Amino acid sequence: MRASLSPAFSGARCRSMVPLMSESACAVLNYLQEKITGEQVIDVNTVSLFYLFKPITYFLQFLGVKLIPTQDAEQFSQLFKSALKARRENLVKPRPDFIQVLVDAANGKGN
Identify the pLDDT of residue 1: 67
Domain assignment present for 32: yes
How does residue 25 score in pLDDT terms, banded at 50, 70 and 90? Answer: very high
At 110, give phi and psi (nearest 5°). -135, 160
| Contact (CB, 8 A) for 10 and 111 | yes
Helix axes 70-88, 98-106, angle to 10 degrees: 50
pTM, two decimal places: 0.49
| For the chain, counts of helices (H) and of strands (E) | 7, 0
Domain assignment present for 111: no
Identify the pLDDT of residue 48: 66
What domain count does the chain have? Answer: 1
What does the alpha-carbon distance between residue 23 and residue 14 come to, in Å, rounded to a whole number?
A: 15
